[in-house]
Structure 1
Amino acid sequence: METTPTEFYKSNVLGQRSGLFVLFFTEMWERFSFYGMRVLLIQFLTAAVIAGDPKSGWAWSAEQAGALYGTYAMMLYLTPIFGGVIADKYIGSRMAVIIGAIIMTIGHAAMAFDTPVMFFIGLACLVIGTGFFKPNMPSILGEMYKDLPQKKDGAYTIFYMGVNAGAFFGMMLCGYIAETQGWHWGFGLAGIFMLLGTLQFAFAKPLMGNLGILDKSEEAVAAKNAADTDKRNPFTSLDYILMTVVGIIGFLYAFNDPLSKNGIIDMFAFLDTPVLRGQYIMIFIALALFIYMLVSRILRYDKVVRDRMFAVVLLAFFLIFFFMSFEQGATSLVLVARDYIDRSLTGTALTTFNIVNGLLTIVPLAIISWVLVKLALATWKKIALSNIVLISCFVLIWGAALWMLKNEFSKEASEITVSWFSTLNSFFIIALASTVSKLWESKYNPSAAFKYGFGLLLVAIGFLVLGLGASEIGEGVKISMAFLVLTYLFHTLGELFISPVGLSYVSKLVPARMLAFMFGIWYLAIAIAQKVAAVLGGQVETIQEEYSLSHFFFLFTAIPAAAAILVMVLNPLIKKLMHGIK
């Protein structure tokens, strides 16, 4: 598809195309809303039921909450596979982003109402909306820079900063408002920014030319069909049957898990054994069928392509061990921060924290506001309405941030909000990403297997630190918050070794005609990891009661550490399978 040149190619902001910053702010507000809601979910589900209290929750157990969150997180990585296909074939990336954003706005609005029905409608809308939104923003960005490949890496870095800035402010402000004013205020704030972000993107249409618009001309369709048809290895009837069976079992399990753990229905109870629940037996069957389908399909390719695809599958396998540990940040670590971390501050400690927290809030907000001003100056004549909406967003966010800081500075004693700890991941990414990325450009750039190994080891060290901190707790004694801060630091370093490089290896190792299939496998691995992470994270209360909290953290020290050693031992094999790809 050809993109006609527009004035936006001439208008630059900070040396990049101004359209990049329209995408930057759209993604930033979407991530603000998404992470702002996510940081509240487990807290809301497990909070005590207190009549008349706006901070009253549903009083679910950690296991029940983890089961629901796991299914939600799993679906967030599966629906984009379908959203990308629908955009590619029928509606185009730009329309998919707008549709997805509207559905997510409805979802956030639904969750602001204090009823179970609206809550579940909201979650469903967020899953569907993310499916349309998530794969198509990077697609528009890639299209924007296809004639400027030398600037693409820088553009993606800036875009990634928008993701983390949105996550940072979303968790901080939605979390603070929800924990101090009531859950529906936090959910509602997420919805307001999702709506404004959607309007900002829609009103920027005059700047974007034909970017993300599907070209349905006969020539474009013919060219696409010629490029996409995999004549050497079409899917067989057996492939389709196996994919259907695996998909149905996976889908039923995803919903059966929270339904059965809440005593509503267990579709697989007839298979229960004294050792293993029926739903897990079905998952093992589905896994065996899926592995057979995947291996049999890859074996039909010639040797070099086959080996490289097996390398991707191996990396995806170890990715599961990383994310099942790292994603404890959304489940068990939230509960640990709430129930086991000493969050109370007074005197000098409180003053110091408030100053640090004030700087953490004001400095990034000031920098991003400066970017907003630069964008407005460069594009006002073209997209004034979009800029007005964007300025409104910043007026609101500055108001919320200053109100939060004024509240905290006026207190003589305070308790740090649970959600504040979740912001550390985004903050550390923004602070450390450029430093870690310089390593990839130096002579010390490790191989893929060692990047994964180091990432897994760093996550293991993070849990080891927290396990040691938890070993000191006793009656009336809680874990020092320094241990949790260090855990998030190590986890973020681990993420920087693994997350940004994973998809890069897929694109390097897999021929273009098979990229969609292998990206699907990659996202499936992350979806499985999300579900496993939440199910294991839901055991935090059980393990703490039967053994100790340290046991829980040492379990998550051992699993990624063992996976790290194994992937580094397999380095020669993985390098051989890559056939020279660095």
Structure 2
Amino acid sequence: MTSLTAASPQEAIKNRTTKYDDLWGHPKPLWMLFMAEFWERFAFYGIRWALTLYIVAQFFNGDASGQTFASNTYGAYLALVYGSAIFGGYVADKIIGSQHSILIGALIMGAGLFLIMLPDQSFFMAGLATIIVGNGLFKPNISNLVGKIYEQNDSRRDRGFSIFYMGINAGAMISPIITQWLASTLTDTPMMDNYKAVFGAAGIGMLISYIWFYIGRKQLKGVGAIKKTPTRTKNLFYVILGAIASIGPVYILMAYAGAQVLAWLLFILFVGLAFMLIKGAKKDGKIARDRMFACLIMCAFNVIFFMFFEQAGSSFTFLAQNIVDRNITDVFEFKIAWFQSVNAVAILILAPLVSMIWLFMSNKKIEPSIPQKFALGLLGTGLGFLVLVYALENLLNSNNLIPLWPLAACYVLHTIGELCLSPIGLSMISKLVPASMAGLAFGGWFLSTAIGNNFSGILAGSISGETGMTVVSAVNGFSFSFWLLTGAGLFLFIISPLINKLMHGVK
């Protein structure tokens, strides 16, 4: 049998399985990781709704022609946020361990969030670049730790990742409500100035995440850490220096390369990573190699999913601002940021239900396989776009606006799709990949997300065009989204038996 837990000697990382006390049916450290991720996601989603609106307001004086630039910038930012995870995973696996990667990343992200408060486009882009570098060190490694606190064949692992995913979305639910309130009521200054309070609140959330993990990491009993030696101290210094130095190149990619150039760079990076992962897996035998192939195939479908799911921060935001009637009464308006909370609330409600459905189906031996769950996720996301197309073609009022319920319903359907795909994908990586390559493989998963996010910005930019989003452009863009997602979902259903063979019994 191929070993899936032994780490290579040069890593010197404590990847051994450690017995933890249970708390509420799961290893106790899960709840510490839950809250650290909660505050990091509070920061991330606290600015998600505001970025494109701020760019148009601050740098284009509110002109709708700035929507394309804002969407492309937002897509590139998200792409690099997730693409940087490949380097963060490698740094953790080979140099400083997951724990120190998370701590360094949290501080760098906090610095970037405070930097984007400065009302200058160059400083804004530099701030985004700083957030990207910090997130690369933070994001893949905290997910990796969740996988490490479970025994290899622990049946609770999928449910543990679903709980962890709820932590992500608890932060995502609260932060848009708080940051929208800050932007709307804190001052009487122009809206682009109020957005700075949004960015500052996110920075504070990131500092809380750092403190929470720093204090709580003792619960991990050394998992994800390396022994304190002069070599470790030197490596930490070099990693910090390298992280600071990398902000410049990331800034250049953000400010000058453009979304199309970035798409090619990310593709080349993913191909190179795929070769590295396959070469490394071959050392552990045919089964490990086949499982790695399965992971890479699923990453390709993850690209498709996030290309359309991440319209939430770009085209959906402009749709909510300009083509949705958000007036519930004469005096009460549904705020733009609250749509981001719809997704998070739906996850908090539906995640336990979906988890129970998987458990029930597992007990009945009819649970869908990992590829089939992914296919359901693609189809559910496509259905959300169909609802929007229907509304735009049939429910426009005299002001050329649609009701708010179709957009809210789209977010809920996308949430169902997300629950069938994202937490399952994280769990899939932790089950299929040798522990010695887990950080790098999680980086690969987030790199596929990055490619999808970059495409999402390109798609949103094409929907807005040169003059901003219109009803016609929205119908065309969302119809394309529905058909592509539906076709991809059906195709994945057809080939799922082939992928299952490559997984060699992993469910």
TM-score (normalizing by structure 1): 0.70
CA-CA distance at 1:450 after TM superposition: 2.3
Helix, strand or coil for the counterpart of 1:161?
A: helix
Answering whether residue 497 of structure 2 is matched by residue 554 of structure 1, we say no
CA contact (8 A) 2:278 2:289 kept: no
Once residues 272 and 402 of structure 2 are traced to their aligned partners in structure 1, the CA distance between those partners, rounded to angstroms, is 43
Specify the alignment match of 2:417 in structure 1: 494
Q: Summarize the alignment of residues 562-573 of structure 1 with structure 2, pairs less than 5 Å apart.
A: 562-573=487-498
Once residues 98 and 465 of structure 1 are traced to their aligned partners in structure 2, the CA distance between those partners, rounded to angstroms, is 42
Correspondent of 1:452 among 374, 386, 405 = 374
Helix, strand or coil for the counterpart of 2:328?
A: strand
Correspondent of 1:528 among 451, 463, 482 = 451
Specify the alignment match of 1:116 in structure 2: 121
Answering whether residue 296 of structure 2 is matched by residue 313 of structure 1, we say yes
Helix, strand or coil for the counterpart of 2:400?
A: coil
Answering whether residue 500 of structure 2 is matched by residue 575 of structure 1, we say yes
Specify the alignment match of 1:462 in structure 2: 384
Correspondent of 2:205 among 183, 193, 218 = 193
Answering whether residue 81 of structure 2 is matched by residue 76 of structure 1, we say yes
CA deviation map 1:441-485 (0-9, x unaligned): 313312333222221111111000001101133662301011011
Residue identity matched to 2:336: V
CA contact (8 A) 1:544 1:552 kept: no
Specify the alignment match of 1:389 in structure 2: none
CA-CA distance at 1:216 after TM superposition: 5.8
Once residues 147 and 124 of structure 2 are traced to their aligned partners in structure 1, the CA distance between those partners, rounded to angstroms, is 35
CA-CA distance at 1:67 after TM superposition: 1.7
Residue identity matched to 1:196: I
Helix, strand or coil for the counterpart of 2:332?
A: strand
CA contact (8 A) 1:45 1:60 kept: no
Helix, strand or coil for the counterpart of 1:113?
A: coil
Specify the alignment match of 1:259 in structure 2: 256
Specify the alignment match of 1:271 in structure 2: none
Please provide the CA RMSD for this pair. 3.9
Residue identity matched to 1:316: C
Answering whether residue 193 of structure 2 is matched by residue 176 of structure 1, we say no
CA contact (8 A) 2:93 2:437 kept: no
Answering whether residue 64 of structure 2 is matched by residue 42 of structure 1, we say no
Q: Cα 1:304–1:17, aligned 2, differ >3 Å: closer, same or farther?
A: closer
Q: Summarize the alignment of residues 108-507 of structure 1 with structure 2, pairs less than 5 Å apart.
A: 108-145=113-150, 149=154, 155-181=160-186, 182-204=194-216, 210-215=222-227, 259=256, 279=261, 286=268, 304-346=287-329, 413-441=331-359, 442=361, 443=364, 444-472=366-394, 473=396, 476-507=399-430
CA contact (8 A) 1:455 1:493 kept: yes
Once residues 126 and 80 of structure 1 are traced to their aligned partners in structure 2, the CA distance between those partners, rounded to angstroms, is 12
Answering whether residue 105 of structure 2 is matched by residue 100 of structure 1, we say yes
Specify the alignment match of 2:237 in structure 1: none
Once residues 506 and 533 of structure 1 are traced to their aligned partners in structure 2, the CA distance between those partners, rounded to angstroms, is 24
Q: Cα 1:194–1:77, aligned 2, differ >3 Å: closer, same or farther?
A: same
Helix, strand or coil for the counterpart of 1:47?
A: helix
Residue identity matched to 1:106: A
Once residues 253 and 206 of structure 1 are traced to their aligned partners in structure 2, the CA distance between those partners, rounded to angstroms, is 33
Specify the alignment match of 1:86 in structure 2: 91
Once residues 332 and 502 of structure 1 are traced to their aligned partners in structure 2, the CA distance between those partners, rounded to angstroms, is 25
Range 300-309 or range 333-342, more displaced: 300-309
CA-CA distance at 1:526 after TM superposition: 1.4
* Structure 1: 5+ residue stretches without partners: 51-55, 221-250, 263-276, 348-412
Once residues 307 and 21 of structure 1 are traced to their aligned partners in structure 2, the CA distance between those partners, rounded to angstroms, is 33
CA contact (8 A) 2:278 2:293 kept: no
Once residues 507 and 35 of structure 1 are traced to their aligned partners in structure 2, the CA distance between those partners, rounded to angstroms, is 25
Q: Bigger relative contact order, structure 1 or 2, given CA contacts below 8 A and separation 6+?
A: 2
CA deviation map 1:75-130 (0-9, x unaligned): 11122222222233333332222211111111121122323233223212211111
Once residues 314 and 536 of structure 1 are traced to their aligned partners in structure 2, the CA distance between those partners, rounded to angstroms, is 23
CA contact (8 A) 1:48 1:58 kept: no
CA-CA distance at 1:141 after TM superposition: 4.0
CA contact (8 A) 1:67 1:257 kept: no
CA-CA distance at 1:146 after TM superposition: 5.2
CA-CA distance at 1:305 after TM superposition: 4.5
CA-CA distance at 1:536 after TM superposition: 0.5
Once residues 345 and 492 of structure 1 are traced to their aligned partners in structure 2, the CA distance between those partners, rounded to angstroms, is 23
Once residues 40 and 142 of structure 2 are traced to their aligned partners in structure 1, the CA distance between those partners, rounded to angstroms, is 11
Q: Cα 1:519–1:478, aligned 2, differ >3 Å: closer, same or farther?
A: same
Q: Cα 1:146–1:334, aligned 2, differ >3 Å: closer, same or farther?
A: same
CA contact (8 A) 2:49 2:313 kept: yes
Q: Cα 1:321–1:340, aligned 2, differ >3 Å: closer, same or farther?
A: same
TM-score (normalizing by structure 2): 0.79
CA deviation map 1:170-226 (0-9, x unaligned): 1221133224441111111111222233233334466665454312689x9xxxxxx
Once residues 303 and 148 of structure 1 are traced to their aligned partners in structure 2, the CA distance between those partners, rounded to angstroms, is 20
CA-CA distance at 1:155 after TM superposition: 4.4
Once residues 327 and 199 of structure 1 are traced to their aligned partners in structure 2, the CA distance between those partners, rounded to angstroms, is 30
CA-CA distance at 1:33 after TM superposition: 0.9
Residue identity matched to 1:479: I
Structure of greater Rg: 1
CA contact (8 A) 1:104 1:125 kept: yes
